Amino acid sequence: MKSLKILIVDDDKLVSWSLSRDLEKEGVDASVVTSGRQAIKSIQETSPDIVLLDLKLPDIDGLEVLKKIRDSLPQTIVIMMTAYATVETAVQAVKLGATDFIKKPFSFEELKVILNRALKSHRLSQEVAELRQNLKQKYGFSNIIGESKCMQEVFALIRKIAQSDATTVLITGESGTGKDLVAKAIHYESQRSQYPFMALNCGSLPDTLLESELFGYEKGAFTDAKTTKKGLLELANNGTIFLDEIGDASLNFQVKLLRFLEDRTFKRIGGTRDIEVNVRVVAATNKNLEELVKEGKFREDLYYRLKVIPVVLPPLRERPEDIKALVHHFIDQFNKEFKKHVRGISREALAILESYHWPGNVRELRNVLERVMILENTDIIQPEHLPLEITLQDNLQPNEPVVRLEGTVALKDIEKSIIEQALKRTKGNQSRAAQLLRISRHALRYKMKKYRLLN
């Protein structure tokens, strides 16, 4: 208990002085006040770690003082002392935020037990708060990078979702566009963040296992069910369940899921009792669910139930504006991870990344940078550091001809068509198209004039 600051608030001078002497012997910095008013003043001035507060004071009621402490210094441990301990006052004190209470008269040993218990739980709750803060930093919105207009729209939408009590969200987007990231951010930025985030990958387990993971089972439900086990839905109560790869769920599992989504209750496998939970269901898929519905592989009713609030993550090739910020984000990240000192990327290298079509989206970009930063010892990332399949674009094999000659064809038509494709891929950005074709912007303009590609 050394180096703790404790304030004793009691008008019974005998009690308070003997207490403070005992505490000082333990190395505690103890001080005494004898009225509610003095207590409030002293607490504001000295911010003690612990307040030992008598319930009955000559001026202000102890419970009032407690309320004031809670408003101004919520972290303080408050232990109520009372000679008139009734269950009601104790309950009321705890409701108002007292950490514990002790009945007078008490021995110093008894008080020490209570103080140690309070300190322990206080430290634990501080640790939990810290961990929670770390989680939020790790998984919050600030980790999702995107400056393009379409990503800004996504941010606005997921902010609204996080703050709302929308209970069903469907995230779609190609592989590597950030669906996991968004699902976690929705959870960790919401009121639900004190409760668990549980994830289930619907594509990776056989049906029976999926069901027992999600709904849990009763003892004896099947041969291996030696004890009752809660499922993820119960464990995630008040929090979020993330159903990843929902497009891969079997029709049979889809039925069970739909039943749960309809009335938010379920039974454990082998159980008879309906269990009600409050969980937000965030589902994600890189499949086209509408197509799957047409093919009869995904239930239409489940699709509509999930799609109440759709979040669509655009592929990276549709937002090359985001690449610069993403590259810097990953450079920072890998500098820390690999203890490197890469300062940035050259304009030419960035232009190449910006014009690549990124079939693996942000994940692929991240992997490219990881590889470069592990393999190359460089200050600034240059085109020659980038993997060949990216500099050559479209995964051309090194010996494969860029254009294949079939029949007869006019060379000028090939040139014109290639220029058109470059402009299309760069959305008309002539500088980028020129970089892509490895010619100067001036030369590009000249050729565009020649082929009447200028408006």
Ligand X SMILES: Nc1ncnc2c1ncn2[C@@H]1O[C@H](COP(=O)(O)OP(=O)(O)OP(=O)(O)O)[C@@H](O)[C@H]1O
Q: Which residues bind ligand X (CB under 6 A)?
A: 144-146, 173, 175-181, 286, 326, 329, 362-363, 366
Query: How near is the Cβ of 303 to ligand X at its closest, in Å?
Result: 18
- Closest to Mg ion by CB, 33 vs 313, is 313
E strand segments, 267-361: 275-276, 280-285, 310-313, 344-345
**Strand spans (E) along 223-279:** 229-230, 240-244, 265-266, 275-276
454: closest CA among 426, 419, 425, 412?
Answer: 419
Contact region for Mg ion (CB under 5 A) — 72-80, 158-166, 175-183, 314-322?
A: 175-183
- Please, are residues 255 and 204 in contact by the beta-carbon 8 Å criterion? no
- Beta carbon of residue 290, minimum distance to ligand X (angstroms, whole number): 17
3: left (phi over 0), alpha (psi -120 to 50) or beta: left
Contact of residue 173 among ligand X, Mg ion, none (CB under 5-8 Å per partner type): ligand X
How far is Cα 166 from Cα 205, in angstroms, rounded to an integer? 28
In order of 255, 281, 424, the CA distances from 258 in angstroms are 5, 12, 43
**Which tokens hold the place of 191?**
């009121």
Residue 363: which of Mg ion, ligand X, none does it interact with, CB under 5 to 8 A by kind?
ligand X
Answer for which of 12, 22, 180, 376 binds Mg ion (CB under 5 A) is 180
Binding region for Mg ion (CB under 5 A) out of 87-95, 117-125, 174-182, 350-358: 174-182
Q: Nearest distance from residue 177's CB to ligand X, in Å?
A: 5
Report the nearest approach of Mg ion to the CB of residue 201 (Å).
8
Using the minimum distance from each CB to ligand X, give the nearer residue, 42 or 175.
175
Instruction: Please state the closest distance from residue 365 (CB atom) to ligand X, in A.
Output: 8
Q: From the list ligand X, Mg ion, none, which binds 146 (C-beta under 5 to 8 Å, kind-based)?
A: ligand X
Q: Which residues from 236-265 bind Mg ion, rule CB under 5 A? A: none
Residue 169's alpha-carbon distances to 175, 198, 261, 312, in angstroms, are 18, 15, 12, 11
For residue 179, the minimal CB distance to ligand X (Å) is 3
Whether the CB-CB separation of 202 and 248 falls below 8 Å is answered with yes
Q: Residue 11 or residue 321: which is nearer to ligand X going by CB?
A: 321
177 binds, among ligand X, Mg ion, none (CB under 5 to 8 A by kind): ligand X
Of the pair 16, 361, the CB lying nearest ligand X is at 361
Query: Which of these, 261, 257, 307, 315, lies nearest to 286 by C-alpha position?
Result: 315
What is the DSSP code (8-state) at residue 315? P
Give the residue with the Cβ less far from ligand X, 82 or 286.
286
